[in-house]
Amino acid sequence: MKLPIHFVTGNPNKLAEVIKILGPEYMDKIKAVSLDLPELQGTMDEISREKCLAASALVDGPVLIEDTSLCFEALNGMPGPFIKWFLQSLGPEGLPRLLADFDDKRASAVCTFAFCPGKGQEVHLFTGRTEGCIVAPRGPQNFGWDPIFQPDGFTLTYAEMDKQTKNSISHRFKSLVQVRNYLEQELKQENS
């Protein structure tokens, strides 16, 4: 596998979180690249696969993309992969209002990483899910919808948690463990 892996993001917080979860040995193996990719509609897997293929067509080498969804049980999974647009329109304080008339505040935080080793090659998907509920915003409002998502078994929102705790239970963590296992196996096979 050709290195570095190009992680498609314009968000330095995401790159730092990815490296923190994957481990320090990935500091030199992954670099951020900001690409203007098309905004797609479809299922979480379809969007991730298509974004990864589009990125691999623009980058000379392996690419890793992330797509995050926040799925409200009462709304049959919406906003789902469209959470970015809901968040931009309503802000963290507006999202819980979508559930104001519902007793069911349960939600799933879903992170899908898609990896493609190169242009025209197979895309591999890695999905992590954390169950929780939607609450009124609590904690710093500097990382998306973290202030409104309270994981099951915790009294704190993602935003109120220290990074170490969040990074050990999050949907992103669960997905990245799968990515790390895959990359370790691929790199091991190349070196044998």
Domain boundaries, the chain: 5-190
Read off the pLDDT of residues 96-129 as tens digits, 9 standing for 90 and up: 999 999 999 999 999 999 999 998 899 999 999 9
Q: Could you give the CA distance from residue 101 to residue 129 in angstroms, rounded to a whole number? A: 25
155 assigned ligand-binding residue: no
191 assigned ligand-binding residue: no
Considering Cα of 85, then 91, then 92, then 94, what sign does the dihedral take? negative
Q: Could you give the CA distance from residue 62 to residue 68 in angstroms, rounded to a whole number? A: 20
- The third-level CATH classification (topology) of the domain covering 5-190 is Maf protein (3.90.950)
124 assigned ligand-binding residue: no
In one-letter notation, the amino acid at residue 43 is: T
Nearest to 39 by CA among 88, 95, 97, 96: 88
81 assigned ligand-binding residue: no
Read off the pLDDT of residues 42-55 as tens digits, 9 standing for 90 and up: 888 999 999 999 99
